Structure 1
Amino acid sequence: MKTVIYYFTGTGNSLAAARKVAAALGETELVPIASLAITPGTITPDADRVGIVCPVYDCGVPVMVARFAERLDLSGTKYTFAVVTMGGMGVSALHQLNRILRERQGRGLDAAFAVTMPGNFPPLARPPEGEKCEKILSKADKRFAEIAETIGSGRSVSPGFAPISGLVKALTYGPFAKGTHDASAAFSISDACTGCGTCARVCPTGNIEMPDDRPVWNQRCELCCACLHFCPTEAIQLHVMRGTKGRGRYRHPDLTVADMEAQR
């Protein structure tokens, strides 16, 4: 059975999830959601199974992912699933995707999964390091194997009951979604910047330009923070909540600059 997995990633957790599930299922195509963002119109996958894999932002899905889901035509699909990766809570993101698909298709997700992975939003909490990080990743890998087995067998899995996650989403996701594209104003660059351009290369939306070898953020930010985490000198800071100076950085150990560039 042919499978297409659409994914969005900022620090590699969701790409790692998509790859693990795809490898176990076999005959699976991985398609970056960001590569479809500039293409107007309906998206009709040529596959029997369709999956969406993405991170959780403010207990919902990234804005780009929500808009992508609204454009999906799954009329020819037999089985639809979603996997969200999260540092804390976020099952409500699965309910959001399920609702979008129901409104668009008249049917929702056949299976929905939430997997804990290393948190990577430093303004909220320092990313885990060392052995703690490795344990989280190892546990997640085992979970991906279980998820792939469930998908392969065609079993149904509901998103589950998540009242606290739903409450947090109700309070925070609206302002996040409304302001995310303007979040560029919250980034700054220090004199530690070497002008290497890595931030521009890894941005999945192509939001960063490099005039005079200094990054400039435009109005297509998704707050994935890839620029923040990939900067080799930690010259980029995000000025929200507790800020990011001295609060650590994270990206999945298998993620490369080339992986990020491949999203566009």
Structure 2
Amino acid sequence: MSGPRRPSGPPGPDSLRVIPGGHPGHERLHVCRRDGQSIAWYDREAARVHLLSESERENVLRALHPFLAGPVAVGPPPVPTPAELARLSLHPDDDLAPNRPGEALLIALDRHPAPAHRLRPDPRRRALAAERTAGGALDRLEGVGWRTLHSVPLPGGDRIHHLAIGPGGLFAVHAVYARRLRVRVDDPMITLGRHESEPLLRRARAAADRASHALTAEVRPLLALTGPADLRVTAPPRGLRILRDTDLESLARLGGVLKPADVEALHAMARDRRTWGWV
């Protein structure tokens, strides 16, 4: 006589066990048959369930249901795009994406702090406040498809305060501290309060032109004024936007220039320090 017949087909959820595994900071939950064979695992950090067989999807998800918090992706991770592969191949010293708003100023202040007996505030502190304010506003656009790089170095010691890349195109953003000051713009000069006029618009356009050459794409200049008491523009500046820091969120309404894949590809190119070595 033959023995009891084993059921055919995929195992039901009641025949599966969930076993913790992985290492601290990268925990996994393995879904196993009674004989210990793993048929799936849940990566908590990536919020993804990896299946060894698509036919067991429903049973695996039922077994994992008590352990899942929020939506999860199911299946193998997506194939990396060329932009993602380029990012993964970057040496950390060449990757500009981790830069904080005002990164260059933070390093300069740390290496060469102002003398303790200085009577007037260090102007670098005001410049840092402007870059932090503008950079924070731009970073908040990430949820609507924008990517921003900060303190992009250029040959000769110059830099782009912020490079914003999104559906509305590319912008080289120059942040200006104007807290409680009257600002007058007379292209290419800008006057802040009682200070002498400076050709900041010319400087912003030059930085955008250099970025255009580096990325082989149109980059438009944008002047971001932090907290001005009043803003007067004698005539619309040629090819340049002027926004208060509180209006930077209006970039979210721009679109029709770059597709999401283009944004990611340009961001991957721009975050590579080597891209800027020749402009």
TM-score, normalising length from structure 1? 0.29
Which protein is richer in strand relative to its size? 2
Q: Which has the higher helix share?
A: 1
Please identify the structure whose Cα radius of gyration is greater: 2
